[in-house]
Amino acid sequence: MIKKFFIFFMLILHIFYGWLTKIKFAQDKTKGRINYKKFMSSTIYRDIVNCYINKLEIEGTIEKTDENKVDVFISNHTSSIDFIIISYILHKFQIRNYYCIYKKEINNIPFQADCYKDDIQIDRNWDKDKDAIIQQLDRIKSGLIVIFPEGTRFDKKKYIKSKRFCYQNKLPIFNYTLAPKAKGTHLILENLYNKNKLGNIYDTTILFNNHIKSDLYLMKVLQKDIGNVNIKIESIKFNNDDLKYENFKEKLFRIWLKKNIYIDRKQLSLAT
């Protein structure tokens, strides 16, 4: 546990050091922020993954982003370190230019507002967010956007609420994940598609084998043995018809159903 807390303390120091050396005095702030993410992924994020996780198994691959295209990387949201794991994976596949979608409260963390100024900030109020997302998308010329369509990290209270919502609206009820929210993801994909900027789309499933349907908030991650983590990456396609909102919502739910089937099968294989 002491080592975990030490690595977490080093994360705080690296945030400041990375901001100071990669962004603060950079003439090209956008390039500086890309270099900051590269620095964090190749050093402290790598150390966190190696320290907190016994074994990380990755199934699938990610291709380098085409010039003038924006790839989209969607994933279930299981723990407080999901973004760190994904950033580490993107670095392993030599994806340097990536952007996240984050709630504006992250700006309260010292230096983070400057480090992620080119990323997409949301208010979690759809009336405010829909126009703001489009404006921020216009600034991204190429790269990869990481999206968690569930909108929040899994925990048991949210899971009960999600199941109730699905039951009341006659939607599929998932065993291991929250239900995905379609509006934001659809807006991003449709906007990129209409501007001929949409590149590859990847669906990723994160599975903490020892902590399925568990509340993996930060203190638990620091205190518990995380065990092995499986990552499954699949390339998926959306055509013009798929991007009609109701069709998109149906396809997104099918993707999430496949995630749950994958987790179920992994559970069975580990039990035998």
Q: pLDDT (tens digit, 9 = 90+) per residue, 197-255?
A: 999 999 999 999 989 888 998 888 888 788 999 999 999 999 899 999 999 999 999 99
Structure tokens at 86: 């994904």
Q: Confirm if 18 and 40 have CB atoms less than 8 A apart.
A: yes
- Judged by DSSP in three states, 154 sits in coil
Which run of H or E residues covers position 234?
strand 228-236
Of 129, 121, 116, nearest in space to 104 by CA? 121
| pLDDT in the model for residue 225 | 82
Q: Mean pLDDT across the stretch 265-270?
A: 80
pLDDT tens sequence across 99-122? 999 888 877 777 888 899 899 999
Question: Is domain 58-271 given the CATH code 3.40.50 in the classification?
Answer: no
pTM: 0.93
Please give the mean pLDDT across all residues of the chain.
Answer: 91
Q: Give residue limits of the domains in the chain.
A: 58-271
Question: CA 32, 35, 41 angle in degrees (round to 5)?
Answer: 145
Q: What percent of the chain has pLDDT over 70?
A: 99
Q: Mean pLDDT across the stretch 33-39?
A: 93
- Considering only 70-74, 140-144, 156-160, 268-272, which range has the smallest mean pLDDT? 268-272
Alpha-helix residue ranges (DSSP H) falling in the chain: 2-18, 29-42, 44-52, 82-92, 112-115, 126-137, 156-168, 182-194, 218-223, 245-271
pLDDT tens sequence across 155-189? 999 999 999 999 999 888 999 999 999 999 999 99
Residue 1 confidence (pLDDT) above 80: no
Q: Confirm if 173 and 232 have CB atoms less than 8 A apart.
A: no
Any idea what DSSP says for residue 249?
Answer: H
